[in-house]
Structure 1
Amino acid sequence: MIHQYKLNGYNIVLDVYSGSVHAVDEVAYDIIALYESTPAQEIVRTITEKYPEVTPEDVRECLDDVETLKEQGKLFAPDVYADKAFDFKKRSTVVKALCLHVAHTCNLNCEYCFASQGKYHGDRALMSFEVGKQALDFLVANSGTRRNLEVDFFGGEPLMNWDVVKQLVAYARSIEQEKQKNFRFTLTTNGVLVDDEVIEFANREMHNVVMSLDGRKEVHDHLRKNYAGQGSYDLIVPKFQEFARRRGDRDYYVRGTYTHNNVDFTKDIFHMADLGFTELSMEPVVCAPGEPYALTQEDLPKLMEQYEILAKEMIRRKEEGRPFTFYHYMIDLTHGPCIYKRISGCGSGTEYMAVTPWGDLYPCHQFVGDEKYLMGNVWDGVTRPELRDEFKLCNVYARPDCKDCWARLYCSGGCAANAYHATGSIRGIYEYGCELFRKRMECAIMLKVDEAAKKANQ
């Protein structure tokens, strides 16, 4: 399977199963498009008629090059991965990451919050140290020989339970050597309670920090308000700037959400970059279709255009010496994840789980509160293995709708939670999200092509 597209002056050919990317001229682009469906002599006639300056010998030479690439497995490569999508239910898995919901409460009242203002459609609650400690013990006990373990402090707003966060980090550090584990922590925060102590501790202990900012002041304040109805932009931006400045070369992301209200979301990304942030992410809102801020079908062409605008501006700013990173454009065309990861995705419900303040286990944070997907708890472990088996089978080859999609080995079938909320099945697909993902991948690959082309011309 190949995917061909044109973007930013490049004619790009992606060979799906080998992962090879080819930037070609117009003639080769058209020849490749005809190669599998058209006899060679017909290709020669068609191409020479379309391009009078091209001789039959030129076309045959290009056809020979295509054939060589095919023999090398770099064009029209067969799907050698289908057989690797064996019965995933039988594969052995270990838990490598937990999302600790240390606070089911929040000091903001964001209208679009998927977690119902941090309460997850339940009661407000804070995780005790005892529950968190048991969660870390559960992670260690179920991680097998894996050394690096990931723990996200999540909410609600985790800084509303900051003392417990610090205690849990200290406990994890105290057992690392004995258990031969290395904990890597992430903190996700809305910034309201960030102060010098939080910055100092997080920059020492947190492998990553995610800061929530939706971009321009009017966009951010429209939906991200406190309970008094006041926007939070002016309060948090100076704190985030100081946080990022003092973080140095340690990982962080300033993460926004775009909605129907700001389909021109690149202006928000560029605004965040102009504030001095260099590690950026912007996600489409996840909500019921009837909400006033929900993305619509009419928004889709505008969003596609925005992703292209973003990619071109990233090239321009890089040339000017002021680059920034966009999370969804980070792609490794030379190494990348192993094939099992590319087939099975994020590992929700198997390698990754969310823990509620009272210790219940869910497949991920987007399932928390849905009793159909309550998997167990941190004391008894996974008490409903049939749910874990269901998520083991949640791979790209188990989704019939993914069969003909060129991007399927990049998204691994997409987000199970988004599929579930869109279709009622974790093995369905969220087609709107698929459209956005494919466009992001086209832009990400184009950025790599542009980078390679500029290196070749140096």
Structure 2
Amino acid sequence: MTTSTSPQPSWFHLVAGVEPAVFLTRGSMLFDIDPSLKDGLEREQPWALDELQSLGGESTAMPNVAAPIAALSLNVAQTCNLACSYCYADEGRFGGRARTMEAAVAFAAIDRLIEQARDRITVGFIGGEPFVNRQLMHDAVEYAKAGAKRAGLRITFSVTTNATLLSEEDLQFLRDEAFTITVSLDGGPLQNKHRIDRKDVNSIWAVLAGIRPLLDSPGPTRIVARATVTRDDLDVTDRVEWLSQAGFAEVGVSPVRTGPEASLRFSDSDWAPFLEQMIAAARLELDRVLAGATPRFSNLWTMLDAIYRGSARPLPCGSVANYLSVDVDGSFASCHRTVGNAMFHMGSTTTGFDADKRRRFIELRVVDRQEPCRTCWARYLCGGGCHAEVTEVGRAGCDYIRGWLDFGLQAYRHVMTYRPEVLARSET
């Protein structure tokens, strides 16, 4: 499988590979085509364009700016026991002082979520390190469960943690409440270099010691390892393999685009080799899965699931559209990355979710109103990029995204030929 980032009309994309295929941007539709049509489309012949247009392609639905918030993350501890060198959140402080959330703030935020919800809600916990404030986590879950029951809502819970502070009580709590758990763990030699423990403890083994009982006996929890990739080590395959060997059934990676240490942030020259590394890891993953193994590299399968579902999203994520974050003072932000930033302020526990700000935020950021997104064939698979990152550092990495998605379209066809049930599982 090869990749291509050559310019093409924004309403379709010819997928690289031996077998001709075309991706229609609107509706996210993928079609096999014969070589003559491919040749005509490459030459932009009128007959070929007319034939392609006859295949259809539904208009992408714009987000409902009046939709309720369905997920809320509570920054219960704007402090952390680690001092990660690339932390965009300033160890959870977001440029302020270390603080923890009080129960009154958490409960008021949960009340705001419940009072306008319609069906299902998710309450997440984040920081900093949320287990610095473990008692509030336990109390907030009980409070949210009781409120959701009274309102007739289904409720789920999530947490992002470095897993170094987990007690036996915490582990059982996570099982009992069927948490989705994202563990921040880089693995390999860079873990101790960049994820620094304030007490000079080997942070790899602190994490693994904390999470091991759950890996061995997860119960109904879902556990995902998330590794941060810095520009001093782009080897994605090693990260995925190391974390898989450590016992994680799901592994994802994320490049550093923002943060306090410039030498660790991706520069323009890093995206091409990073794409090569991502594709190399994905190819090994495909070999495993096509031989009968269970999927583990979440970056790949999240992309393939989106293609399978025909995902055509006008925004990159649920930020503001159906998700907000709340800080220790009770101020709502567009997401957990924008806490304390006035540009992304979305109300408070006192005044509620600010409907006007939410509407303006969404209307300005739909991908068809962004440059250069509105003329990019990949816009409805990408959604335009993280709002916080784009605001801070712009759109570096767009060629990487197009290359990754082009590879994904090829990989999708391969998986659907040889193991379609792997993608069909997302329907169950």
Give the Å deviation of 1:399.
0.7
Query: 1-side partners of 2:281 and 2:27: how far apart?
Result: 27
What amino acid is the match of 1:363?
S
**Cα 1:453–1:69, aligned 2, differ >3 Å: closer, same or farther?**
farther
Aligned to 1:80: 59
Query: 2-side partners of 1:409 and 1:160: how far apart?
Result: 39
What amino acid is the match of 1:136?
I
Give the Å deviation of 1:389.
1.9
Whether 2:176 is the aligned partner of 1:166: answer no
More displaced stretch, 397-406 vs 290-299: 290-299
Give the Å deviation of 1:245.
2.9
What amino acid is the match of 1:122?
G
Query: 1-side partners of 2:270 and 2:19: how far apart?
Result: 26
**Cα 1:10–1:166, aligned 2, differ >3 Å: closer, same or farther?**
farther
Aligned to 1:47: none
245, 249, 257: which one aligns with 2:228: 257
342, 345, 359: which one aligns with 1:374: 345
Give the Å deviation of 1:381.
1.4
What amino acid is the match of 1:155?
G
Q: Deviations over 1:168-219 (max 9, x none)?
A: 1111111222111112110111011123222211122144110111121x02
Consecutive unaligned residues of structure 1, counting only runs of 5 or more, are 41-62, 424-429
What amino acid is the match of 1:431?
A
Query: 1-side partners of 2:185 and 2:32: how far apart?
Result: 36
Identity in percent: 25
Whether 2:159 is the aligned partner of 1:187: answer yes
Q: Deviations over 1:131-154 (max 9, x none)?
A: 1111100111232xx211111100
Query: 2-side partners of 1:450 and 1:418: how far apart?
Result: 33
217, 242, 247: which one aligns with 1:271: 242
Aligned to 2:426: none
Give the Å deviation of 1:265.
2.2
**Cα 1:91–1:190, aligned 2, differ >3 Å: closer, same or farther?**
closer
What amino acid is the match of 2:143?
Y
Whether 2:286 is the aligned partner of 1:315: answer yes
More displaced stretch, 201-210 vs 133-142: 201-210
Q: Deviations over 1:351-384 (max 9, x none)?
A: 2111011211111111112234333211221458
Whether 2:5 is the aligned partner of 1:22: answer no
Alignment of 1:158-237 (within 5 A): 158-216=130-188, 218-237=189-208
Q: Deviations over 1:262-292 (max 9, x none)?
A: 1122211121122232211100113259711
Q: TM-score, normalised by structure 2?
A: 0.87
1:127/1:356 contact within 8 Å kept: yes
Aligned to 2:83: 109
Q: TM-score, normalised by structure 1?
A: 0.81
**Cα 1:451–1:249, aligned 2, differ >3 Å: closer, same or farther?**
farther
Whether 2:405 is the aligned partner of 1:441: answer yes
Give the Å deviation of 1:160.
0.8
> Secondary structure, in 3 states, of the residue corresponding to 2:265?
coil
Give the Å deviation of 1:18.
3.7
13, 35, 42: which one aligns with 1:3: 13
Give the Å deviation of 1:11.
4.7
> Secondary structure, in 3 states, of the residue corresponding to 1:358?
coil
Give the Å deviation of 1:28.
4.8
Greater Cα radius of gyration, structure 1 or 2 = 1
**Cα 1:174–1:401, aligned 2, differ >3 Å: closer, same or farther?**
same
Higher relative contact order (CA 8 A, sep 6+): 2
Aligned to 1:301: 272
Aligned to 1:139: 113
2:75/2:127 contact within 8 Å kept: yes
> Secondary structure, in 3 states, of the residue corresponding to 2:361?
helix
What amino acid is the match of 1:33?
L
Aligned to 1:427: none
More displaced stretch, 121-130 vs 236-245: 236-245
Length, aligned pairs only: 407
What amino acid is the match of 1:3?
H
What amino acid is the match of 2:416?
A
Give the Å deviation of 1:117.
1.3
Query: 1-side partners of 2:326 and 2:132: how far apart?
Result: 17
More displaced stretch, 411-420 vs 372-381: 372-381
Query: 1-side partners of 2:261 and 2:163: how far apart?
Result: 29
Aligned to 1:122: 96
Whether 2:320 is the aligned partner of 1:349: answer yes
What amino acid is the match of 1:80?
S
Give the Å deviation of 1:304.
1.1
Whether 2:45 is the aligned partner of 1:38: answer yes
**Cα 1:34–1:447, aligned 2, differ >3 Å: closer, same or farther?**
closer
Aligned to 1:46: none
46, 69, 72: which one aligns with 1:95: 69
Consecutive unaligned residues of structure 2, counting only runs of 5 or more, are 1-10, 421-428
More displaced stretch, 196-205 vs 387-396: 387-396
Q: Deviations over 1:406-438 (max 9, x none)?
A: 111112222111111124xxxxxx232x33332
Aligned to 1:59: none
Query: 1-side partners of 2:331 and 2:161: how far apart?
Result: 22
User: RMSD of the TM alignment (CA)?
Assistant: 2.6
Whether 2:365 is the aligned partner of 1:394: answer yes
54, 57, 64: which one aligns with 1:71: 54
Whether 2:301 is the aligned partner of 1:292: answer no
Query: 1-side partners of 2:54 and 2:123: how far apart?
Result: 45
Give the Å deviation of 1:258.
0.1
Aligned to 2:396: 431
